[in-house]
Structure 1
Amino acid sequence: MSSTIDNAPYTAFHRRLALACSGGPLLDGYILSIVGVALIGMRPDLGLSTAEVSLIGASALVGMFVGGALFGVLTDRIGREVMYTADLIVMCVCSVLSFWVDGVWPLVLLRFVLGMAVAADYPIATSLLAEWLPTRHRGRLLGKQIVAWYAGAVLAYVVGYLFLELAGPGSWRWMLASSTVLCAVFLVIRRGSPESPRWLAANGRVGEAVALVEKHLGVRVDGRELLPPRRTEAKTSPLRQLLGARYRRRTLFCGLFFFCQVGPLFAMLTFGPQILSSFGMAGGNLLDTLGTGLISLVFLIGCYPALRLIDTVGRRPTIIWSFALMIVPLTLLGVWPTAPAAVALLALCAYAFLCGGPNVLDWTYPNELFPTEVRATAVGLATSVSRIGAAVGTYLLPLALTGLGTGPTMLIAAGVTALGLLVCVLWAEETKGMALGATSPGRTSPQEPVLVG
């Protein structure tokens, strides 16, 4: 493992790389959110049925499931830099083509490919960033990637609201195409971003790795220092390694806590106005857009105290207490389904704020718990599992509200969150202050001493 990279000073290079890597999460938040606003005009223009609306909404999530699993493995095989720009180009092309869609199936296909490209960016960009960052700044800057997601969601609702106000619901084509601008901006920012020296060294390209470290960090490094620890076992595929005895528990932990967090979260974001209307809050297209944007803003705000907590009290206490407290507002709404709309709004905002802990650890944990040769695969697999939760929650919540009522629906969400708490209590590890390679083989107990690389 490389103590030179782990102990390097934090420089403008790291800041620029962190900004460049935030493009994928920001575009994810924007692309997934802007379609909800665009549907206001799209539905009457294209004559969409309820089933077709659900299909359009789910297509990007299904694409993310496929993209996360597929491109995580590919990123570990061919490198981070190769695909770092290609996925943004795909997003840009799909955004432009969305302007000319004239039916359900072309739009579903474009949204599916967009989802694949967005999910591909998570293992590419977060593993690249993690492998360049100094230990002291790794948790905070990986956590800030999810802040970019919520910034993209808030921006989508602001842009959508302005389109509705200035051009009316018929501007939905411009809404879908507007992500092209963000793609172009991040294509420029990503120019010149280097490959991961850890990946290069692990794949026999030690000379290139040493040259990159000297160029971007300004220090000389012994090539042997960049090599990963030697393994005595036979080399197998990344997916097989993740599901094998050595990493199975960590793989389950990252996938399950992400699943239990994202299922209720996506449902709240997608159907927040419908939930609030069940508590008696008046609705309307513009009000719904602004209300959902407000909830997204609270999700974003909640990430900031969590970013401080993971580097002070640690990853494990932060995620456990966050899940425990997230249960409270959901249970309140479950046992008090006749609560005034103002109480329901405050409870949903409290839930959104408390989600900050799991949010900032969504990509921090899988990047810290797995070694270079399977890191991108681990991030991609966790993302894929989480999107199953997102799709299930988004599909079932409106059905549950109609068939079971608000109270039981909120109690189910509280139960899913409680399962996430149990997973964290049993399996969450402490990785605060550890060198990136120090968590790799064999260190599985959260009570084991922590060594800084």
Structure 2
Amino acid sequence: MSVSRRSVEDAPLNAFHRKLTVYSAGGPFLDGYVLSIIGVVMMQISGALQLSALWEGLIAASALIGVFLGGFLGGWFTDKYGRKVLYLVDLIAIIGFSVAQFWVESAWLLFVWRLLIGIAVGADYPIATSLLAEFLPRKQRGPLLAAMVLMWFAGAAIAYLVGEILLRVAGDDGWRWVLASAVVPGALFLIARSGTPESPRWLLSKGRRAEADAVIKKVYGPDYSIADLPEPSSDQHVSVWSLFHSGYGKRMAFVTLFWTCAIVPLFAIYAFAPKVLTALKLTGDWASYGSIAITFLFTLGCLFATKLINRMGRRKMLIHSFLWSGLALVLLGLNPDASPTTVLLLFGAYAVFIGGAQVLEYVYPNELFPTEIRASAVGLATSLSRIGAAVGTYLVPISLVSLGTANTMFAAALISLFGALISWWLAPETSQLDLQQAASLGNAPARTERSPAAPSTARKA
């Protein structure tokens, strides 16, 4: 009778895991902060720099275009050169480019700086999440990766709050201080990140067994070694080209499509929240405070999803998230002249329900691909999903003028409902699998909620 081996994935959560989760949260927090802050100051920037509708759309979409450029390149560099080095360089870049926005005097220069911010943000998605995923125990992997998205929304919520305060106290140049304010949280996270070790899974994939073993002993204790790490040997190579064909190509299509459907309405709402709410007849402080309230509800929705991710399962959560959030947008389209309270309630319902899809953006890509291409897969999904997000964000002000508020809401609803269909068709269930099993094509997870395959039958991906 065979005896199942011990695995670091079944080790208890320790102090290192908790610290790494906090350190890794710095990237998503800053991502949410710098990408959302533009929505707070877009009206002020438009007046100060005399922006046309064309430039408003370009500046709002510029960071998303940058994410498209930086996502795959950042993931590829992370898989090639390691998680640790890219981890620090990328955070420094986000801080520097954010500060540079303070001195802009033209629309094109603001576009350039936000494009560069987007490139750095795009690179951060695969860096932070792949490093964390490769250290976490099986039971905590889903909730703690989901918590990274929660930190994204926390960053966005703080951005709206800080932005509103600075605009009220800093005068005509308040928008400059708002855009540059990311330097404060960025510096704090940069200091906290020092001393983080390299991923032992990545080291093992490069044949650096002694270094991997030393990291495992340091993190899990002297009784553990690389023999307890469920990871294939370095002679079993999977190249980045695997993302474009065979089983991994299908997984890549699923991740890209659901991620796109999750963020297209969301980024459009974030970039133009005051304008959308104004179009829905919310004026003055209703629009400003409504934007802050909806942002905090996005955070609350992610918090609920994080708590339920293991109990509910990945697949079921994704389908229900798209379905109910899409229904909330349909109701907004049917009631464009509703009272401010009704509008805020429906927007709030969308914000809460879409949390399930949002938290899975970091979970699924890290679970469905092996170590050799994990960061590349996250980066490529980040890049491809931002094509739709950038186009959607660019079209929002045009759509509000040409199609009207109701039809704009209906278009956003169709995107969410399409996400539900894609999830029903392609979403697997991985909550009971270790990282190697989930990533193995020879052990493709079934659609049932509790379907762990025996390790003895798993192909080492």
What band does the TM-score fall into relative to the shorter chain? over 0.9
1:117-138 residue CA offsets vs partner (Å, 9 max, x unmatched): 1111110110000000011111
> Which of residues 93, 97, 105 is equivalent to 1:94?
97
**Which residue matches 2:18?**
15
Deviation at 1:341, TM superposition (A): 2.9
CA separation in 1, counterparts of 2:252 and 2:324? Answer: 24
**Which residue matches 2:382?**
383
Which segment drifts farther, 436-445 or 414-423? 436-445
Contact 2:68 2:383 in 1 (8 A): yes
> Which of residues 205, 210, 224 is equivalent to 1:207?
210
Deviation at 1:39, TM superposition (A): 3.4
The structure-2 alpha-carbon separation of the partners of 1:174 and 1:351, relative to structure 1 and needing over 3 Å to count, comes to: same
**Which residue matches 2:173?**
170
**Which residue matches 2:187?**
184
1:171-230 residue CA offsets vs partner (Å, 9 max, x unmatched): 222212211111110111100011100000011001001101111221433434447336
**Which residue matches 1:450?**
452
**Which residue matches 1:46?**
49
**Which residue matches 1:260?**
261
1:291-331 residue CA offsets vs partner (Å, 9 max, x unmatched): 21211110000112211221112111111111111121112
Counterpart AA for 2:345: L
> Which of residues 233, 236, 239 is equivalent to 1:237?
239
**Which residue matches 1:365?**
364
CA separation in 1, counterparts of 2:274 and 2:454? Answer: 46
Deviation at 1:397, TM superposition (A): 2.3
> Matched residue of 2:302: which SS?
helix
> Matched residue of 1:204: which SS?
coil
**Which residue matches 1:194?**
197
Deviation at 1:394, TM superposition (A): 1.2
Tell whether 2:252 aligns with 1:251.
Answer: yes
CA separation in 1, counterparts of 2:350 and 2:180? Answer: 32
**Which residue matches 2:40?**
37
**Which residue matches 1:332?**
331
Counterpart AA for 2:281: G
The structure-2 alpha-carbon separation of the partners of 1:171 and 1:404, relative to structure 1 and needing over 3 Å to count, comes to: closer
What TM-score results when the alignment is normalised by the length of structure 1? 0.94
Deviation at 1:398, TM superposition (A): 2.4
CA separation in 1, counterparts of 2:385 and 2:252? Answer: 12
CA separation in 2, counterparts of 1:197 and 1:178? Answer: 35
CA separation in 1, counterparts of 2:432 and 2:73? Answer: 31
The structure-2 alpha-carbon separation of the partners of 1:407 and 1:46, relative to structure 1 and needing over 3 Å to count, comes to: closer
CA separation in 1, counterparts of 2:315 and 2:5? Answer: 25
CA separation in 2, counterparts of 1:321 and 1:294? Answer: 23
Counterpart AA for 1:406: T
| Gap runs ≥5 in structure 1 | none
Deviation at 1:400, TM superposition (A): 2.0
> Matched residue of 2:7: which SS?
helix
Counterpart AA for 1:450: P
Counterpart AA for 2:207: G
CA separation in 1, counterparts of 2:160 and 2:20? Answer: 27
The structure-2 alpha-carbon separation of the partners of 1:248 and 1:85, relative to structure 1 and needing over 3 Å to count, comes to: same
Pairs within 5 Å for 1:15-414:
15-226=18-229, 228-229=231-232, 235=237, 237-238=239-240, 240-282=241-283, 284=284, 287-414=286-413
> Matched residue of 2:194: which SS?
coil
Deviation at 1:158, TM superposition (A): 1.1
| Gap runs ≥5 in structure 2 | 456-461
Contact 1:40 1:169 in 2 (8 A): no
Q: Say what the alpha-carbon RMSD is for the aligned residues.
A: 2.1
Deviation at 1:381, TM superposition (A): 1.2
The structure-2 alpha-carbon separation of the partners of 1:4 and 1:53, relative to structure 1 and needing over 3 Å to count, comes to: same
Counterpart AA for 2:414: G
Contact 2:38 2:179 in 1 (8 A): yes
Which segment drifts farther, 174-183 or 396-405? 396-405
Counterpart AA for 2:308: L
Identity of aligned residues (%): 45
The structure-2 alpha-carbon separation of the partners of 1:143 and 1:214, relative to structure 1 and needing over 3 Å to count, comes to: same
CA separation in 2, counterparts of 1:443 and 1:248? Answer: 16
> Matched residue of 1:437: which SS?
helix
What TM-score results when the alignment is normalised by the length of structure 2? 0.92
CA separation in 2, counterparts of 1:123 and 1:71? Answer: 7
**Which residue matches 2:459?**
none
CA separation in 2, counterparts of 1:108 and 1:212? Answer: 42
Which segment drifts farther, 383-392 or 258-267? 383-392
The structure-2 alpha-carbon separation of the partners of 1:212 and 1:110, relative to structure 1 and needing over 3 Å to count, comes to: same
Counterpart AA for 2:171: G
The structure-2 alpha-carbon separation of the partners of 1:242 and 1:153, relative to structure 1 and needing over 3 Å to count, comes to: same
Deviation at 1:68, TM superposition (A): 0.4
Counterpart AA for 2:419: G
The structure-2 alpha-carbon separation of the partners of 1:443 and 1:147, relative to structure 1 and needing over 3 Å to count, comes to: same
CA separation in 2, counterparts of 1:332 and 1:96? Answer: 40
> Matched residue of 1:170: which SS?
helix
Contact 1:3 1:435 in 2 (8 A): no
Counterpart AA for 1:398: P
Counterpart AA for 1:278: A
